[in-house]
Structure 1
């Protein structure tokens, strides 16, 4: 692990100086393991509250999912609040429902507060490919309105044609308080804000061992950190060895993205006149949006176990052309893969390994906003108010069927079943 993957985001990152690697023994209040959104959000909330914070990143800030994702900042969770109520009860649903629009608010606040140039644009569309999916979006609108969210517009077949120049969709739901952005630049801006508050950020500082105790001791190849608290926020790139108690509860999964050459302003405006990001309603969904320089960024699919496909264009280009056949002669300038961390329940896993060691993981494809909420909740918990953090921590954290060796084929088999249902319109 070293430099950022060769993505559109890395090629268009804001100028930034690299951070040093840790080469000494230091002390702090809180040591954060992981320089993605979960770790950065936690660290920023904590340094704002006066804590002495150290962030240890194995590669570069935003090297993992936080700097490679589709750039969609979407409200709620990977399982909506009606599913949460059915599984975990009304009290849990009320608590989690009160927070499901907060992550996007935090992101907008961070962008304004620290003047982070990350190309934020408001508006996200969930696009229905079948009448059944459209009826589910109609119910989702009512559900979110019950939780106080009024910035929604249901789009019928005619209305969605005005938003997306594709014949694939029968309708959609526009959420004006979601949005899209350049995620790597957001991560870099948040790291700089941590630095300006006195936090210490280290790159190329792989954590090799954590000795639990009070204080805990976090070891890297060339240094160590003694800390009153530790936050483990490695997510899909934590690996199996550092903390097996976490890796057995989740599974890294890959997603692939391609990005076109710049389109003319007229072509870009014709494809997505409102400049909203889009994801469809399939189980294995596609997602796309325009970049600030009028490229179409298109991603989709899941590779279970984080296997990188041999040919990303072969995986994603047919999906893009099925949605936008008018782009058949457009050049593809960038293609890349990235991993996110999936849980069996599709709900995030927050909790404590020891009294002073916390973890955040498993956003299951909904991480841009959820990680920002998670950082705020863990800062609240360390300051003595753990009610909202514990609402998530109390959710069951279930291992995948078949353990580490069989979780991939079992999950892929289940996904194939749901993908078939999508294709058949069930």
Structure 2
């Protein structure tokens, strides 16, 4: 009887619902943080190890999968990259427009802090795009080591095209290496409940949520905008593609991709999770092996919302009047900047001064707004990453399923 019980526990751990296990990890981490904060801080190492493992395996996974897919691609085989990219770009722009509307409906004023940051924001969109372009021609070893996914994609596609005329044996070797790396990824993903247990315990023990109460309205506007995109705008776009109830797919992506991304707070670390989900959804590997790492770079609805809401909060705080044309320009700037956020150290928060410059807000004031962003980052960055990453696999799935039904 005891042996049977042990076997049942082992089977639940190795084959049971990952979402249920993650939920157990979240509850256990929260309880530990409340009862024993010092132990929770120590156990946070488990979370760091999990995120580190995902970040370590993701660049290699993307490189071998993309190279193998392109090398094995047959002429006339239809991939859905173009409509997916259109959805990425439109979704990011729609998110910035939504954020503008929410900011006007619920204008937020900030108590600016004197916290200084040594980070250097980009001085214009030109600098953002310049950084992004030079990422493309990065050394391939450097790109893999530093998680530069634009560079990884460029080299993987180039190598795949070069290997297109290689022998079947060579192509089989590529596919076998990709399958081997994928197996390692699946093992790392099974460790998610332990990793998220450590992340939750450490986060709650160190920061709590009392510090966030002073910024409750700002957080409500930010997270409310992200929820509107996740639960209204994205389902409308998916319905446009698949012409049936989009919510089962939307909730599956939020549950199995968004939850993990919320706690890892890293789009790069969530690429293996999205790849695994895309495989279980039986999507076209030639499509998702490129679209998901590309989405981690250019599909930035959450970042566009963060840039727009915090910039307009600074504008409202200073009493600056904003007309419709300027608000529309802000939406365009936020969308373009968000797509280049991965090429800038510090991500979306460091693009706030660029957006603030449209309204003549000084860099000193803008950097104080960035400091506010870091204070609320425990929720803002988590929700932003969850929206960005879950939308990558959602839009990929929508376009693949739409193509299957034609």
TM-score (norm 1): 0.27
Flag the structure with more relative contact order, 1 or 2, with Cα contacts below 8 A and sequence separation at least 6: 2
Could you say which structure has the higher helix fraction? 2
- The alignment's TM-score, normalised by the length of structure 2, stands at 0.28
Higher strand share: 1
